[in-house]
Amino acid sequence: MSEMQSSQSVQTRRRTLPSAIGEPMVWLTGGALIVCLTMIVLLLLMVAINGSKSFWPKAIDRVTLSDGEVFLGMAIEHEEQTATTAKRTLYRVGNRDLGQESFRWVDDEQIASIETPDDAVMLEREAWGVWFGTPESIVRKGGEGDETVLLADGSDAVFEGFGEIHRDARETTAQIERMKKRELGSINAEIDRLRLQVRQGEIEVARGDEGLLRFPWVIWIGMGILAVGLVGLVYRFGAYGIELGSAHARQGSLIRASGVIGIAMVLVAMWVGGPWKGQMISASELETMREMVAEREAELLSEYDEVLGRIREMESGDHELRLVVIEPTSGHFAPVSQTLSDEPMYVSQVVRLVRANTLTTGEKMGVYFSRWWEYLSTNPREANTEGGVYPVIVGTVILTLLLTIFVTPMGVIAALYLREYAKQGVMTSVIRIAVNNLAGVPSIVYGVFGLGFFCYTVGAYVDTGAVESTRMSSSAWWGMFVLTGLMLMGGFASKLWSKPDPGKSASVLNVWMQRVSWLVWGMVVVLVVLLMTRTPYFHGFFEARAQDGTPTFGTRGMLWASLTLALLTLPVVIVATEEAIAAVPGSMREGSYGCGASKWQTMRRIVLPGAMPGILTGAILAMARGAGEVAPLMLVGVVKLNQDLPISTETPYIHADRSFMHLGFHIFDLGFQSPDSQAARPLVWTTTLLFLAIVFALNLAAIMIRSRLRARMAGPTV
Choice between 449 and 698, residue whose per-residue pLDDT is larger: 449
- The per-residue pLDDT of the chain, averaged, comes to 84
Rounded distance between C-alpha atoms, residue 193 and residue 432, angstroms: 49
Rounded distance between C-alpha atoms, residue 206 and residue 618, angstroms: 53
Residue 425 CB neighbour total at 10 angstroms: 8
Q: CA-CA distances (angstroms) from residue 373 to 167, 269, 367, 388? A: 16, 57, 10, 8
Asked if residue 246 has pLDDT above 60, the reply is: no
Judged by DSSP in three states, 551 sits in: coil
Judged by DSSP in three states, 107 sits in: strand
Instruction: Give residue 244's pLDDT.
Output: 45
Rounded distance between C-alpha atoms, residue 243 and residue 258, angstroms: 19
Give start and end residues of each alpha helix (H) in 108-216.
Answer: 155-178, 185-207
DSSP state for residue 181 in the 8-state scheme: I
DSSP state for residue 335 in the 8-state scheme: B
Q: What is the mean pLDDT of residues 455-470?
A: 89
Instruction: Give residue 155's pLDDT.
Output: 64
Instruction: Give residue 242's pLDDT.
Output: 42
Rounded distance between C-alpha atoms, residue 257 and residue 494, angstroms: 12
Bond from prior residue into 652 cis (ω within 30 degrees of 0) = yes
Instruction: Give residue 46's pLDDT.
Output: 93
Asked if residue 9 has pLDDT above 60, the reply is: no
Rounded distance between C-alpha atoms, residue 543 and residue 203, angstroms: 9
The string of pLDDT tens digits covering residues 324-376 is 888 887 788 888 887 787 888 898 999 999 888 888 999 999 999 999 999 99
Instruction: Give residue 714's pLDDT.
Output: 65
Asked if residue 1 has pLDDT above 50, the reply is: no
Instruction: Give residue 248's pLDDT.
Output: 57
The string of pLDDT tens digits covering residues 280-299 is 677 888 888 999 999 999 99
- CA–chain centroid gap for 101, Å, is 36
Rounded distance between C-alpha atoms, residue 633 and residue 629, angstroms: 7
- CA–chain centroid gap for 227, Å, is 43
Choice between 76 and 239, residue whose per-residue pLDDT is larger: 76
b/e burial code for range 632-644 (CB count within 10 A of at least 16 → b): bbbbbbbbeebee
Q: What is the mean pLDDT of residues 563-576?
A: 93
Judged by DSSP in three states, 164 sits in: helix
Rounded distance between C-alpha atoms, residue 391 and residue 640, angstroms: 11
Q: Which of 145-154, 418-427, 554-563 has the highest mean pLDDT?
A: 554-563
684-688's contacts with Cβ under 8 Å and 24+ in sequence apart are: 685/47, 685/50, 685/51, 685/54, 686/51, 686/52, 686/54, 686/55, 686/375, 687/51, 687/389, 687/392, 687/663, 688/47, 688/51
Contact between 659 and 556 (Cβ < 8 Å): yes
Contact between 403 and 562 (Cβ < 8 Å): yes
DSSP state for residue 127 in the 8-state scheme: S
The string of pLDDT tens digits covering residues 217-232 is 777 788 888 878 777 7
Asked if residue 570 has pLDDT above 90, the reply is: yes
Question: Strand order in 87-92's β-sheet?
Answer: 103-107, 87-92, 70-80, 61-65, 111-115
Cα angle 511, 512, 517; round to 5: 100
Collect all residues with Cβ–Cβ distance below 8 Å to 395 and sequence separation of at least 6: 558, 638, 645, 646, 660, 661, 662
- Domain boundaries, given as residue ranges, for the chain: 217-278, 390-465+539-714, 467-538
Instruction: Give residue 524's pLDDT.
Output: 92
Choice between 416 and 226, residue whose per-residue pLDDT is larger: 416
Rounded distance between C-alpha atoms, residue 382 and residue 378, angstroms: 13
Instruction: Give residue 251's pLDDT.
Output: 72
Q: Cβ-count burial of 187 within 10 angstroms (0-12 exposed, 13-18 middle, 19+ buried)?
A: buried
What's the CATH fold of domain 390-465+539-714?
A: MetI-like fold (1.10.3720)
Instruction: Give residue 140's pLDDT.
Output: 84
